[in-house]
Chains A and B, each alone.
Chain A
Amino acid sequence: MSAAQRTLVKPAPSKPRLTEPEVDIRICLGTGGVAAGSREVLKAFEEKLADTGVLAVIRPREDDCANGRCASVTGTGCQGLCAMDPLVEIHMGSNGSRSKVTYGQVTPAMVDDIIQKHILGGEPIEKWIVRTDAGPTEYDPFFATQEKLVLRHVGIIDPEEIEDYLEADGYQALYKVLTSMTPEQVREEVLASGLRGRGGAGFPTGLKWKFAAANNPEDGQKYFICNGDEGDPGAFMDCSVLEGDPHAVFEGMAIGAYAIGASIGYVYVRAEYPLAIRRLKIAMKAAEEKGLIGDNIMGSDFSFHLKLKEGAGAFVCGEETALMQSIEGDRGMPRLRPPFPAESGLWHRPTNINNVETLAVVPWIILNGAGAFASRGYEKSKGTKVFALAGKVNRTGLAEVPMGMPLRDVIYTIGGGIKKNKKFKAVQMGGPSGGCLPDSLLDLPVDYETINQTGAIVGSGGMIVIDEDNCIVDTARYFLSFTQQESCGKCPPCRIGTMRMLEILTKICEGKGTLGDIEFLKEIASQVKIGSLCALGGTAPNPVLTALQYFEEEFVEHVVEHKCRAGACAALTTYSIDPQTCTGCRACIRACPVEAISGERKEVHVIDQSLCIKCGACFEKCRFDAVRRS
């Protein structure tokens, strides 16, 4: 590569913002925000601001604010605090002093008030505020301990506007690499940063690139793949990065491709992420038009072409060899390694595969230096990691924290503790490949090695909190039913083993299990773990093994006492109405979906056990605790 000798075109925005509008509104249009109705809120802001006649709604890159007062409304990616979606950030003031207020759970009906009182009247509406620079709020702990390297642009820029990315130092890392670094220097820099694969395995990224760089086929063809097949149920980190900052992923890929000598890249995204696919298409076109992806990037000798591949719904395609089979148009079935993809991958050429989050942080490392990344984190786990916090936690959302933060801080400080003040039972990490960790392990740091020792894994970053109302056996059964369905069927230990484990777990949930079943479960689990061809089977027993390791008494309870303490296993749960406490209010009768409850007003109600489906609707509904669960 003789790129360094040429004069390269430094990427810069070609349409700078003409004006800084007095009012700058940013609305979360991530999948979660949209699900909560943020598109309607965005529309309401545009329409109602225009209706005021005071503020002109402009596009800062297109229109000048000639007549004095103007406002802009921008959609961004995920702003993080999904529990309070739709989130609306309002920046106001002239260049010198700008205030920022974030409102949560905004509905179109609230927009008028926000415009009249806050935007025009200058008085923010306290009760709806999630965050403000005017003082602390109850949500501040969610933001305070986070450090955003991967998510540096997510929720801030407009992901469909390449100019926004360019204005935020976009493609400068690629420029730096092409003008002043050899491929070897790039590999060394990434290796020195300590970055490890964020897809779950935690393999050092720089080392992976070294292996791929070392293999040079006769025709020179190598491939660079971005694995966006985020299949773990309960994980949405990659989804948010792809939706919120697609160019960062492309830039990371281009840097990696330069480092290993690849000229063609694939972004493989699961079909269940329509919004991500849409934004990737827009971003890819924009990057190609600007010469940031394609032939002779920025005028250098380096060419890198990108293709988008949509998955078709198969969890196993997150496994690298299966993913490549899928790109080749086949069933996504894993194959034995070695040969590793670095030697023989896509179409038998050396191939490198990295996860979305890994790639998105690469430009940051190049611009800020390996040392800056390595100075964050813990022992062998450097930098930051994005976690998707969900389940029975108050503040669900996306949080990026330095590796090594204790789990308790993630769940209680960032997550704000357990919903409805229920009792914490476990945190599930690593999805179907991970496990449930009890309260006694919450002081452990989030670090690859430490978490591996518990039997769970850091995984791709899904963290699902479960409480006393969730049954640990049912949770294990849930994951096994997932892996059993998603097993590709190629190797018998996984195909048959997951089925047998699922059958036993179902039996236990139905109260038909024996103590021998629990032992048999452990035996099958250990065999599936060592005998399976790929990581799907190899890790499928983890949810069962950790559940047995930390919560065996719940299994025994199901088997011996025919009792599910959480009331989640229908066959082991009975609902009845306490005649002493029942006020005869009929609330439970109305709540029952199958008309199993009878009784006149002000008379004691009765549940017909032959009709009851154990849904718990009456239990939830009764305000007098008259419905009893046993």
Chain B
Amino acid sequence: MLRGQGDTGGSCAFQNGLAVGPTGGDVSEQALEEQFRELLEHYKGERGALVPLLQGAQAIFGWLPEDVMGRVAEAAGEPLSKALGVATFYSQFRLKPHAKNTIRCCHGTACHVSGAPLITQEIERYLGVHPGENTEDMLFTLEEVHCVGACGMAPVVMINDRAHGKLTPEKGRAVVKEFREAELAAAADGNGDGHVCACAAAEGAAE
């Protein structure tokens, strides 16, 4: 039964396979360190572990700081240069911190021919950032991606793990605006952060 799917709501974004990052200040550094050590232990001695190690590390920290990358390289028995080479080769890896939420504007073929560029431009105007950048308040990272596989719903924009389909520039702005206002309201109420991504380590380590 697919009932379990319901729990993928919320901002626990590693369920995307694309970690959005630690979302609040509640996760102690110690807890992250603990998860990281478990990850390194899990892949100890395994061949071809560099990519899953980097994926797991990113799921824990939200991005790949230099010292983390160094320890991953060491665990994989590879020089740091190779870890960096691999991390820069794949588009999934982030070498700078990520904002709390990720907006991914799909630029697959179906989305492109249905007007995706105009939607992205509209969201860029609304947030005041270009793809690849974080908003100043670190609420949003805007990304342009190649195909999220929901072509029947084109054009599509994903906010964290939730897809919004059949958009126009107007609707695109509206869904982002609605989400942003809900985030700001939640933050004002004092419960907008701390959605701990407890799933991250488990998912990241799954093999």
Contacts and interface: CB of A to CB of B under 8 A. Distances in A.
Interface of A: 29, 31-32, 34-36, 39, 42-43, 59, 74-76, 82-83, 85, 158-161, 230-236, 239, 271-274, 277-278, 281, 307-315, 326-332, 347, 388, 390-392, 396-398, 428, 431, 462, 464, 466, 470, 475, 478-479, 482, 486, 488, 591, 593-594, 613, 615-617, 620
A31 B113 contact: no
A617 B168 CA distance: 9
20 contacts: A31-B148, A31-B163, A35-B163, A36-B153, A233-B146, A235-B151, A271-B55, A274-B17, A281-B206, A310-B55, A312-B51, A312-B90, A313-B93, A329-B49, A329-B86, A330-B86, A390-B152, A391-B109, A594-B125, A615-B122
Contacts of B76: 329
A313 B107 contact: no
A310 B52 contact: yes
Contacts of A39: 5-6, 9
Contacts of B118: 615-617
B165 interface: yes
Contacts of B6: 39, 43
A314 B149 contact: no
A311 B90 CA distance: 9
Interface string B34-57: 000000000000011111101100
A83 B55 CA distance: 34
A620 B187 CA distance: 37
A390 B89 contact: no
A593 B48 contact: no
Contacts of A36: 153, 165
A328 B2 CA distance: 33
A392 B121 contact: no
Contacts of B154: 390-391, 396
Nearest to B118: A615
A36 B156 CA distance: 10
**Closest 10 A-B residue pairs measured CB to CB?**
A82-B152, A75-B2, A234-B109, A35-B163, A312-B90, A313-B91, A233-B108, A329-B50, A390-B110, A390-B151
Nearest to A316: B89
Given A396-B152, A616-B118, A234 B89 contact: no
Contacts of A486: 146
B152 A431 contact: no
B149 A158 contact: no
Nearest to A307: B207
Nearest to B9: A39
Interface size class of B (residues with CB under 8 A): 35 or more
Contacts of A307: 207
B159 to A, nearest CB: 11
Contact of A236 (B89, B149, B170): B149
A479 B110 CA distance: 12
A344 to B, nearest CB: 16
B173 to A, nearest CB: 8
Interface string B110-151: 101110001001100100000000000000000001111111
A444 B15 CA distance: 43
A32 B153 contact: yes
Given A29-B5, A615-B121, A272 B145 contact: yes
Contact of A233 (B5, B109, B114): B109
B113 A271 contact: no
A312 B1 contact: no
Nearest to B153: A35
A277 B86 CA distance: 22
A347 B47 CA distance: 10
A75 B1 CA distance: 7
B17 A466 contact: no
A32 B169 contact: no
Given A32-B150, A391-B114, A391-B151, 14 more contacts: A31-B148, A35-B164, A74-B1, A160-B2, A233-B110, A236-B147, A236-B151, A271-B55, A308-B206, A329-B78, A330-B50, A347-B47, A390-B151, A396-B154
Most buried by A among B147, B156, B168, B206: B147
- Which among B3, B86, B163 has the greatest number of chain A C-beta atoms within 10 A? B3
A356 B153 CA distance: 23
A464 B5 CA distance: 30
B89 A332 contact: yes
A297 B154 CA distance: 43
A236 B111 CA distance: 13
A481 B199 CA distance: 36
A388 to B, nearest CB: 6
A119 B43 CA distance: 52
Contact of A312 (B93, B109, B161, B168): B93
